[in-house]
Amino acid sequence: MSRLDFRIEATAAGSRARAARLRTRHDEVLTPTFMPVGTHAAVRSQRREDLLTSGAQVLLANTYHLLLRPGVEILEKFGGIHGFMNWPRSVLTDSGGFQIFSLPGSRTLCEEYAEFTSYVDNARIRLSPERSIATQKVIGSDIMMALDQCVPSTVEHGVARSAMELTHRWAQRSLAARGDSPQALFGIVQGARYADLRIESARAITELPFDGYAIGGLAVGESSAQREDCTAIVTELLPDDRPRYLMGVGTTRDLLEAVHRGVDMFDCILPTSLARQGVAFTSLGRRDLRRAAYRGVEGPLDPACGCYTCKTYSIAYLFHLQRVHESLGWQLLGLHNTHFYLQLMRSMRAHIAGGTWLAFYQTQRTVLDARDSYGKPATHLTRAALRKLKLKRGRYEVIVRDEIGYIRDTTSGEVMHLGGGAPEEARTLYVEQSRLIERLQDGAAEPLVVWDVGLGAATNAMAAVRAVEGARAVDGSASAPPARRLLLISFEIDFDSLELALEHPRLFKHLRHPAPHALLAKSRWTNPSSTIEWLLFAGDFAVRKFDAPAPDIIFFDPFSYKADGALWTLPAFRELARLCSHRPVELFTYTCSTAVRSAMLAAGFYVAKGRGTGPKAETTIALSAPSSDSARRHELLGAEWLARWSRSDAKAPFGSRDDDASACNAVAEHPQFTAPPATPELPR
Ligand SMILES: [Zn+2]
């Protein structure tokens, strides 16, 4: 019988997720659970009190490291790890297999044991299944692990098979060595990334009377999709009445996916190791506190978190601690991250028990992966990896060029931002030409209103958000950040392209930020200092534009008039011109089509040449009648354009009838040509 009295309390419909409890020699453990890693009998820079307060139930310690330092004599003297570190709750010890085979240094392996060189004194040390169990008995852990041969999940099949078979033989020896000790013992399923080996290993290990079963050898080189597949294959074969432990995994998203596939227990060094790099896991996704955007930002790291760090300090202070390499910064971030992981596990448990798991799972898998930074550079995408990605949604598909994703409209064949590189084009065409940052510093009291027509994959809107965040960072310590608030309003009728892009953060790096996730979920995002408010107006722009506050700047970026004609017609521009007739408005768009420009002119806009970008030699700027001020900054179309237009076959404004002479007259007689602004044009 099991030494852990494992009982399942609830299972989730439509999922393998389960909530359970088990009893160790020290206390009761509620699952799913996360075990903070105390490699050397200490969780990096975390006090015991903070771990207890955060609700850590089980600590993980490493047999390999404790064997070398402090050594079994010291542990024996203090009555094991519980006495040594004064830890009142449960402890699980890793067998040493992972460290022997993953740490640098020479090692030899034979049927009997693995031999490695101590990093403490260069002594040669033999670790056999029997010695590993003997050491774990001295450590006094509640749950011991059988010694395994852990190989990278990417090794060849033959290598994986022999490591797996040795692991099976060592599993039997570990059980025999445990004898009648009251300590629980888990067996480990190996088999690298090979489904056939994983199945074989799961069958072999579960034939042995372990108290629980672990999935080992993952999180060492495979993709997250491979890991999730392996996990699902193995959990299906594990008995329901024993706890399941996925070793060494992972990010918050990885944990969510594994719980969905039936795993109960986890350990990972990420909460504390990433804290050292300034990275925080939060309810809004990952935050990288090394980013200058966080300088001076008020409010807590995670408004939804109740940890000591979030209750006590501002983001600005945590940013500062990172900047000056103060160890308190690592400690505070590590405390938050550990608390967040433990809280996340409690939330998962509550949703499984409460019957709301699937909805929770669906929302969290996007939220937890949201990034505010690029994080680690993406690994190279192989063709095989690309084929596995789901690259279609609705009428849109992702095409990939040089590991950058672009959204293609399959009905028209048009590709958003192709050629220029989306973020660059967005910055040049929309953010720089509109002088967005300068205008936010002009001291006006009311917010600067920017309409983003055609949210698409949020490329233009995110270029604006990042530019404002970046401007706040580089404005120097003496001067104030932009005083004027930005009110960004995105119009979109079809969210498939954004949802598709959000599923592929490696291909759409501009979306690694909490903002687009929040916008999709709540139609609104505000930055921590409330200097940016981003609203989503869902529906047809032709209708929704009347509901929005009047704009100062318009990023006009729907699909082209060939694909998405209605927005580019003379009647549509007339309506827009009327809305803008009482205030200076600058509209920026990527086309330089004669039919579109003449529609803008006939509608009453002044029309100027916009900057070229990528393959486009020229783009277009439309100015509302009262914006004569800004007309001086732009190069209005002049006599030369008018001459070309009058010779053109397609001079009728787009969306006007061919026989509509008044529309053509409105172009020919536009004041821009008949009475150009008195002030000479400035050089561009
Ligand atoms: Zn916190």
Query: Percent of the chain beyond pLDDT 90?
Result: 57
Distance 316 CA to ligand 1 centre (A): 14
- What mean pLDDT comes out for the span 658-674? 84
Residue/partner pairs of 625-634 with CB below 8 Å, 24 or more apart: 625/577, 625/581, 626/581, 626/582, 626/583, 626/584, 627/584, 627/585, 627/586, 628/677, 629/584, 630/584, 630/586, 631/606, 631/677, 632/677, 632/679, 632/681, 632/682, 633/682, 634/608, 634/609, 634/681, 634/684
Cross-strand partners of 487: 449, 533
Give the Å distance between the CA of 17 and the centre of ligand 1: 26
pLDDT at 650: 74
**Centroid of ligand 1 to alpha carbon of 457 (angstroms):** 31
* Cβ atoms 273, 262 nearer than 8 A: no
> Residues 94, 142, 254, 452: which is the catalytic one?
94
- pLDDT beyond 70 at 377: no
User: Rounded to the nearest whole angstrom, what is the distance from the C-alpha of residue 263 to the centroid of ligand 1?
Assistant: 25
Locate all alpha helices (DSSP H) within 558-617, ordered by sequence: 570-579, 594-603
**In the chain, what is the greatest distance between 2 CA atoms, to the nearest angstrom?**
101
Q: What is the DSSP letter of 209?
A: -
Distance CA 438, CA 484 (A): 10
Going across the sheet that includes 107-109, the strands are 107-109, 114-117, 124-127
Which of 50, 148, 254, 267 is catalytic? The answer is: 267
The share of the chain scoring above pLDDT 70, in percent, equals 92
Asked if 658 is an active-site residue, the reply is no
No. of H helices and E strands in the chain?
28, 28
pLDDT of residue 476: 44
Alpha carbon distance 365, 387 (integer Å):
21
Q: Where are the alpha helices (DSSP H) in 207-260?
A: 224-237, 252-260
Task: Tally Cβ neighbours within 10 Å of residue 561.
Answer: 18
Q: How high is the pLDDT of residue 600?
A: 95
Strands across the sheet containing 635-636: 524-526, 532-538, 486-492, 448-453, 553-556, 586-589, 619-623, 606-610, 635-636
Cβ atoms of 258 and 266 within 8 Å: the answer is: yes
Q: In what order do the strands lie in the sheet with 28-31?
A: 7-11, 18-23, 28-31
Q: Which range among 369-373, 522-526, 658-662 has the greatest average pLDDT? A: 522-526
The question of whether 94 is a catalytic residue gets the answer yes
User: CA 532, 537, 541 angle in degrees (round to 5)?
Assistant: 125
Q: Which of 513, 485, 505, 494 is nearest to 455 (CA)?
A: 494
- What local confidence, expressed as pLDDT, does residue 379 receive? 40
Residues 468, 304, 485, CA angle at the centre, nearest 5°?
25
Distance 298 CA to ligand 1 centre (A): 15
Q: Tell me how far the alpha carbon of residue 506 lies from the centroid of ligand 1, in angstroms.
A: 27
Tell me how far the alpha carbon of residue 8 lies from the centroid of ligand 1, in angstroms.
30
**How many residues in the chain?**
684
Question: What are 286's strand-pairing partners?
Answer: 281, 371
Output the average pLDDT for the chain: 88
311 C-alpha to ligand 1 centroid (Å): 7
pLDDT-derived band at 348, boundaries 50, 70, 90: very high
- Expressed in angstroms and rounded, the spacing between residue 184 Cα and the centre of ligand 1 is 33
